[in-house]
Amino acid sequence: MAKVGFSDAVLKEVNTLFERYPKKVHALLPVLHIAQRENAGWLPEGWDAYVAELCETTLNHVRGVITFYNMYKTTPVGRHHIMVCTCLPCGLCGGTEVLEHLEHRLGIKSGNVTPDGQFSLEESQCLAACDQAPLMMVNEDLQKRITLEEIDRWIDEARAKKA
Amino acid sequence: MAEETLLLLKNIRTPGYTGDLAAYQKAGGSKAWEKVLKSMKPAEVIEVLKASGLRGRGGAGFPCGMKWSFMPPPSDKPHYLVCNADESEPGTFKDHLIMLNDPHEFLEGMMIGCYAMNSHHGYIYIRGESQHAIKRVQQAIDELYKAKLLGKNILGGGFDLHLTVHPGAGAYICGEETAMLDSLEGKRGQPRSKPPFPAQSGFDACPTTVNNVETLANVPFILNQGAEAFAALGPANNAGTQCVSISGHVAKPGVYEVEMGHNLKSLIYDYAGGIRGGKKLKAVIPGGASAGILRPDEIDIPYDFDNLMKAGTMRGSGAIMVFDEDTDVVRLAERTIRFFNHESCGQCTPCREGTFWLKNMVRQFMDDAGDEALAKRMERAAFQIGGTTICAFGDAVSGPMMAFVRKFPEEFAKHYAS
Ligand SMILES: Cc1cc2nc3c(=O)[nH]c(=O)nc-3n(C[C@H](O)[C@H](O)[C@H](O)COP(=O)(O)O)c2cc1C
Ligand code: SF4
Ligand code: FES
């Protein structure tokens, strides 16, 4: 198991965060986000307990939070984590087709990671950009009014970059 | 396109506007904040807000000045103002437009709100997926600290104020204000039973007020131009302008700012360019996924809180979703209930079980295995969720799910078992 714990620099960042709240546990959501950022987008074993200690709360509390929110992941995500909105209205403006196309092209169902660890796919609810439908979010980057051809090109480029 | 009535989006619609502090101030920004700090008492600010008639833009339309007046007088407990920037109601994207392009406007409103409610720390709760908005708003806050418009002893007036951006982590229910407070405390976002109301016991059990981004963005105008100038816009009891998000099968989806009470049909045809591809209209959902659907012959009405309620639906977050003649309304119902079932926090039996049952019923129609009795059962199940739950999410499921079945029986009939 890899080492669990923040570097000194990140600890400093976390401590400035704590100063913004009456209690350390209030900062649990942003601290978990930082933990994921430091671990390629997910929370490997042991990090829940580490964050609980840091935020002065219990392991069960942290686990309850991790499982409640969509954005916390307890299994690895791909280098490119793709979220496709199929909510209302995107789902009726091409979002569903985008998801099906990605599933087909990547050979995985929503909720999974490609065997090479490059891509993971997630069907998402409204992302507050419905005028840009259909759309996908790759890590933090929102790709708007995307066409199936653009998706193909993007996948090819992302794969080529790795190779 | 028809002209917008620009009050909130005036800067954003100015070509070349960057949204940084210098540009904001050049366009007249920060003046209300200075005026309030230098020449007004907190109670006076609240009186102005009350007189303006500003109602909350987050969904419920609660009078903003009145909400602020519920905050108790200063005591040894800190007071908090939380800005609701969760913007997760399907179809809504106007708060993001404001946050990304003119963040100082709502921040100034928020600072004034903090002053009026004797709060020295405000939190801006932004949904976690929106890293771009989180970064943009943080950058604007950094500018304010640098310009000494935030921090200690602001402009020498003796008032201290800090603002903190708090990221959510992907849960629609955290847009509900008490769930948001739990989430801000590092908990699962589960709505609290009221009372106590947040003004008595909110964040960290201290007096707290929650306001939407767009609501707060109105505040600088009201203090600069006066309550009367604001109240003069829109019909009685529905003052001001509104930033309306229009999406779906329209030619020009986007945010449009119009006076409260502007005709709904005109919004769709004169602003959003009508139905794309010259198709006919089938249905309009006029206030986010929580609002009941309307038929084409029902949309020639003024778009505001009271008129939408009169029409049996709601204005909600100001999100108009438009669907053309090729749309299967059962599929709309399926997307809607899938959303609600996914996002129910699970505390209340009618909401938790009801969304699950409704989802299964709609799926039966999707599989062409429905019948009239099932449609009736669906309507009854939806009805029974209403008014029985801890938070308004239950009503947000109940209203639209009943409306789908009641307004479009012929669409469900297409999915009866043959
Ligand atoms: C299920 C649910 C979700 C909500 N989501 C949001 C939201 O995303 N943004 C928002 O501003 N208000 C949302 N609200 C409304 C808030 O609870 C609250 O009324 C609002 O933030 C108050 O601000 P205002 O008075 O300025 O409108 C939601 C309410 C419910 C019941
Ligand atoms: S109505 Fe639904 S979302 Fe609201 S508290 Fe109850 S279970 Fe949770
Ligand atoms: S429905 Fe997809 S961004 Fe809103």
Cβ count near A110 (within 10 Å): 17
Q: Between chains, do B184 and A55 touch, taking CB under 8 Å as contact?
A: no
Model confidence pLDDT, tens digit, residues B189-230: 999 999 999 999 999 999 999 999 999 999 999 999 999 999
Q: What is the pLDDT of residue A161?
A: 85
Given B132, B289, B323, which is nearest A92 (Cβ)? B323
Alpha-carbon Rg for chain B, nearest whole angstrom, is: 22
User: B261: Cβ below 6 Å to ligand 1?
Assistant: no
User: What are the chain B neighbours of A131 within 8 Å (beta carbons)?
Assistant: 93, 245-247, 253-255
B90–A89 C-beta distance less than 8 A: yes
**What pLDDT does residue B418 have?**
82
Please give the order of strands across the beta sheet that includes B208-212: B162-167, B121-126, B80-85, B208-212
Residue B253 has pLDDT above 70, yes or no: yes
Q: Which of B92, B187, B323, B332 to mutate to test the interface with A (most CBs of A within 10 A)?
A: B187
Question: Which runs of consecutive H residues, i.e. helices, occur in A19-143?
Answer: 28-37, 47-54, 59-68, 95-106
B392 lines ligand 1 (CB under 6 A): yes
Determine, for residues A29 and B253 on separate chains, whether the beta-carbon distance falls below 8 Å.
no
Overall size of chain A counted in residues: 163
If you measure from the C-alpha of residue B176 to the centroid of ligand 1, how many angstroms do you get, rounded to a whole number? 5
Interface test with B, best of A29, A33, A58 (most B CBs within 10 A): A29
Both structure tokens of A160 = 């080529």
From the CA of B50, how many Å to the nearest CA of chain A?
A: 30
- Record: contact B247-A140, CB cut-off 8 A: no
Nearest to B130 among A55, A87, A128 (CB): A128
Is any ligand 2 atom within 6 A of the Cβ of residue B171? no
Exposed, middle or buried, A118 (CB in 10 Å: 0-12/13-18/19+)?
middle
Sequence-distant (6+) residues with CB within 8 A of A112 are A120, A121
Share of chain B above pLDDT 90, in %: 99
**What residues of A are in the B interface, CB distance below 8 Å?**
20-23, 25-30, 32-33, 55, 57, 61, 64-65, 68-72, 83, 86-89, 91-93, 124-133, 137, 140, 142
Output the CA angle B316-B322-B327, nearest 5 degrees.
130
- Within B302-418, strands assigned E span 302-303, 319-324
Q: What is the pLDDT of residues A59-105, one digit of tens each?
A: 999 999 999 999 999 999 999 999 999 999 999 999 999 999 999 99
Per-residue pLDDT tens for B376-389? 999 999 999 999 99
Instruction: List, in order, residues 6 or more apart from B160 with CB less than 8 Å away.
Output: B120, B151, B152, B153, B154
Chain B nearest CA to A146, separation (Å): 15
Q: What are A6-15's contacts with CB under 8 Å, separation 24+?
A: A6/A34, A6/A35, A6/A38, A6/A54, A7/A38, A10/A34, A10/A38, A14/A54
Closest Cα in chain A, distance from residue B236 (Å) = 30
CB B36 within 8 A of CB B114: no
- Ligand 2: distance of its center to the CA of B396 in Å? 10
**pLDDT (0 to 100) of residue B362:** 98
In total, the C-beta contacts within 8 angstroms joining chain A to chain B are 137
Read off the amino acid at residue B155.
L
Q: Position of tokens 């000045």?
A: B65
Predicted local distance difference test score (pLDDT) of residue A162? 72
Closest to B248 (Cβ–Cβ): which among A25, A28, A93? A93
Question: From CA A90, how far away is CA A45, in angstroms rounded?
Answer: 35
Determine, for residues B129 and A55 on separate chains, whether the beta-carbon distance falls below 8 Å: no
Question: How far apart (Å, rounded) are the C-alpha atoms in residues A64 and A82?
Answer: 25
pLDDT digits (tens, 9 = 90+) for B240-251: 999 999 999 999
Which pLDDT does position A87 carry in this prediction? 97
Q: Kindly report whether the peptide bond that precedes residue B195 is cis, defined as omega within 30 degrees of 0.
A: yes
Contact yes or no for A30 and B166 at CB 8 A: yes
B93 vs A21, A22, A128: nearest CB: A128
ipTM: 0.97
pLDDT of residue B274: 97
Query: What rounded mean pLDDT belongs to chain B?
Result: 97
Q: What is the pLDDT of residue A1?
A: 60
Pairing of strands B319-324, B241-248: parallel
CA dihedral B256, B260, B262, B263 (to 10 degrees): 110
B414's tokens: 């297409």
CB contact under 8 A, A71 and B245: no
Task: Sort out which chain B residues have CB atoms less than 8 A from A64's CB and list them.
Answer: 188
Q: Please state, in angstroms and rounded to a whole number, the distance separating the CA atoms of residues B181 and B187.
A: 9
Q: Given this model, what pLDDT does residue A2 score? A: 77
pLDDT above 70 covers what percent of chain B?
Answer: 100
Kindly list the residues from chain A whose CB atom is less than 8 angstroms away from the CB atom of residue B279. none
CB contact under 8 A, B88 and A86: no
Q: Is the CB of B343 under 6 A from ligand 1?
A: no
pLDDT in tens, chain A (163 residues): 678 999 999 999 999 999 999 999 999 999 999 999 999 999 999 999 999 999 999 999 999 999 999 999 999 999 999 999 999 999 999 999 999 999 999 999 999 999 999 999 999 999 999 999 999 999 999 999 999 999 999 999 999 987 6
Decide if B186 and A57 are in contact by the 8 Å CB cutoff: yes
Q: Is residue B352 in contact with ligand 2, taking CB distance under 6 Å?
A: yes
The one-letter amino acid code at B314 reads M
